[in-house]
Amino acid sequence: MNNYSEEYLKAIETAYLDLIQPRTLVEYFENDVEFKEWAELGSASDLRACLKAFERDELFHHCSIIKEVLIVKTTPIELNRNNQ
């Protein structure tokens, strides 16, 4: 199978779970523009899940950015063009 010990795999899992925590994740972005660009990579479904996690951690400023991106992703293209 694989040559990785149970301890090693657990350490990798712990590091990954720490990395994906909203409070840890936001530290990797230099500014709101970088955070928004990252959010734009996600699907509407991804953003809804992300929003719940950020709300749970009370990162409300970032929640507003996520909501902004989510609105753009879920608004029909014709409406987006008319609002510009």
Whether the full predicted model's pTM is greater than 0.75, yes or no, is: yes
Q: Under a CB-based contact definition with an 8 Å cutoff, are residues 54 and 67 in contact?
A: no
pLDDT exceeds 80 at position 36: yes
pLDDT band at 82 (very low <50, low <70, confident <90, very high): low
**71 alpha-carbon distance from chain centroid:** 15
Q: What is the DSSP string of 24-72?
A: HHGGG-SSHHHHHHHHHTS-HHHHHHHHHHHHHTT-HHHHHHHHHHHHH
Mean pLDDT for the stretch of residues 24-43: 96
pLDDT exceeds 80 at position 74: yes
Mean pLDDT for the stretch of residues 55-83: 88
